[in-house]
A = this chain, B = another copy of it.
Amino acid sequence: MSFRIFIIKANEARTKADFNLKDLPGTSGRIDLLCRTLSSAFLLSHGFRKNVRVWLNLNGPPIPPKTIRFEGQEIKPKTLNPDELSTAKLIIKALKVGETIKEPSKEHEILPGIYVSNLTFEDIIRRTLRNSTLYYLHEKGKDISQIRFNRNVAFVLGDHLGLKIEDERFLENLAEKVSIGRKSYLTSHVVSYVNITLDRLMI
């Protein structure tokens, strides 16, 4: 089975679970966006994509970075649901464990298939490059219809602020820029589009 990886760099997402579930957009540094992106990455109607991995890389205050990995092959049924709040609770659970960890690279499993760590964006990219072809989703990239995808593909996406210049420089020779169109779309909508496009290509 081929494999799909989505790596989301969240510039402002809180790295401590001190935000208000009733106002995620206003208090969490846009963790609501990450919840919707997880849904787009994993969920089908009455189904689940086991061949997907998502890395959420949170870089907001107070103790960045915190990285949460969701591993489709290991996640138990009913863990991840379509609504934002139940997913936000999973992120809170991960961040609570994340508060206490000190090691720079060890991952701690908080539920089957869900891991929290202090891994940096660069760490995630290096690990991903070992066995996947890396793409950076960007309006000005090569059109997705022109790309010949291999079996194991990984996509880097920014949040509502996009990637920082230093991140773009780091990716320059590591990831091909791919575009799904000239408009700028919400991260979760991009992931939905890419997933369905790859399904259509049978990748």
Q: Does A24 contact B (CB under 8 A)?
A: yes
Q: For A200, what are the chain B residues with a Cβ–Cβ distance below 8 Å?
A: 180-181
Q: Does A64 contact B (CB under 8 A)?
A: no
Q: Could you tell me how many residues of chain A have their Cβ less than 8 Å away from some Cβ of chain B?
A: 38
Q: Does A43 contact B (CB under 8 A)?
A: yes
Instruction: Tell me the A residues contacting B by CB distance below 8 Å.
Output: 21-25, 32-33, 36, 39-40, 43-47, 81-86, 160, 180-189, 192-193, 195-196, 199-200
- Asked whether, in the complex, the Cβ of A81 is within 8 Å of the Cβ of B25, the reply is yes
- Asked whether, in the complex, the Cβ of B45 is within 8 Å of the Cβ of A82, the reply is no
Of all chain B residues, the one with the shortest Cβ separation from A43 is B186
Please judge, given known A-B contacts A36-B82, A82-B32, A82-B33, whether A186 and B44 are in contact too, CB under 8 Å: yes
- Asked whether, in the complex, the Cβ of B81 is within 8 Å of the Cβ of A45, the reply is no
* New A-B contacts (13) at CB < 8 Å, excluding given A21-B22, A33-B82, A180-B196: A22-B85, A25-B81, A25-B82, A25-B86, A36-B36, A36-B39, A39-B186, A40-B189, A45-B184, A47-B183, A84-B85, A189-B192, A189-B196
